[in-house]
């Protein structure tokens, strides 16, 4: 991934950048939020930290927007369970008690790889902590692939500035739980 090319292209798209995160800041964020940045995301954030209201500020770990973004996937799934009769067959019979149903959903999401916010409602799973995890667009249970990896995602999100059309996603790494929802 040509980080300088990606950064300069995103700057043309209006994305602001701060100095990249230090290895200490990366480790602090991973520890604080019990996640592991995949290699390509770690490399990108250490090269230059995108900033602005749509991007998590990994330098300010007390920013409530990070905790909100990390809770967004569970919140959205629970909303669809309550309001739209969403329930996966793999979860077994839906408990009639709302708190028991919530516990099933909470447990399934807790067991799944944690989704790391990239920008807005675009997320990358933290497992495996290797290069090449897909990026999802997550809005309640409307979860779709938005990139087969970080670079592909950035090219898709900012396709106009990269001078290329939005690319279809042919193959992507299968991610426990989230790939099932992205179907």
pLDDT in tens, 104-140: 999 999 999 999 999 999 999 999 999 999 999 999 9
pLDDT for residue 95 = 96
Q: Are 158 and 94 in contact (CB under 8 A)?
A: no
Residue 61 lies in a domain: no
| Kind and range of the H or E run holding 18 | strand 16-19
What letter does residue 85 receive in the DSSP assignment?
Answer: -
| Distance in angstroms (rounded) separating the CA atoms of residues 112 and 123 | 13
On the question of pLDDT at 165 being above 90, the answer is no
Task: Specify if 62 maps to a domain.
Answer: no
In the three-class reduction of DSSP (H, G, I as helix; E, B as strand; rest coil), residue 74 is classed as: helix
- Answer yes or no: are the C-beta atoms of 148 and 169 closer than 8 Å: yes
Phi, psi of 179 (to 5 degrees): -65, -35
With respect to residue 30, please indicate whether it lies within any of the assigned structural domains: yes
Does a structural domain hold residue 60?
A: no
Total structural domains within the chain: 1
pLDDT digits (tens, 9 = 90+) for 79-97: 999 999 999 999 999 999 9
Q: Is residue 76 part of a domain?
A: yes
Q: Is 101 within the bounds of a domain?
A: yes
Q: Is 13 strand, coil or helix?
A: coil
Residues 6+ apart with CB under 8 A from 157: 119, 122, 146, 147
Look up the pTM and report it.
0.94
Paired residues of 49 in beta bridges: 18
In a domain, 94, yes or no: yes
Is the residue at 125 inside a domain? yes
Parent domain of 119: 3-55+69-182
- The model's confidence at residue 175, banded by pLDDT at 50, 70 and 90, is very high
Q: Calculate helix-pair angle for 39-47, 3-12, nearest 10 degrees.
A: 60
How far is the CA of 56 from the CAs of 49, 60, 69, 171, in angstroms?
9, 9, 8, 28
């Amino acid at each position: 991934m040509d980080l300088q090319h990606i950064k300069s292209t995103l700057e043309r798209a209006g994305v602001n950048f701060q100095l990249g995160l230090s290895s200490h800041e990366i480790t602090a964020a991973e520890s604080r939020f019990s996640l592991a940045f995949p290699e390509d995301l770690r490399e990108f954030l250490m090269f230059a930290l995108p900033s602005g209201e749509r991007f998590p500020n990994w330098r300010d770990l007390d920013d409530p927007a990070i905790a909100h973004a990390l809770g967004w996937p569970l919140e959205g799934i629970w909303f669809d369970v309550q309001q739209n009769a969403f329930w996966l067959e793999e979860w077994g019979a839906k408990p009639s008690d709302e708190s028991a149903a919530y516990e099933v959903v909470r447990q399934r999401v807790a067991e799944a790889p944690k989704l790391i916010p990239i920008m807005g409602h675009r997320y990358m799973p933290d497992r495996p902590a290797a290069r090449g995890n897909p990026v999802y667009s997550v809005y309640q249970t409307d979860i779709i692939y938005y990139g087969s990896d970080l670079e592909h995602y950035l090219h898709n999100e900012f396709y106009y500035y990269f001078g290329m059309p939005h690319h279809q996603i042919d193959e992507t790494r299968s991610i426990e739980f989230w790939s099932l929802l992205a179907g």
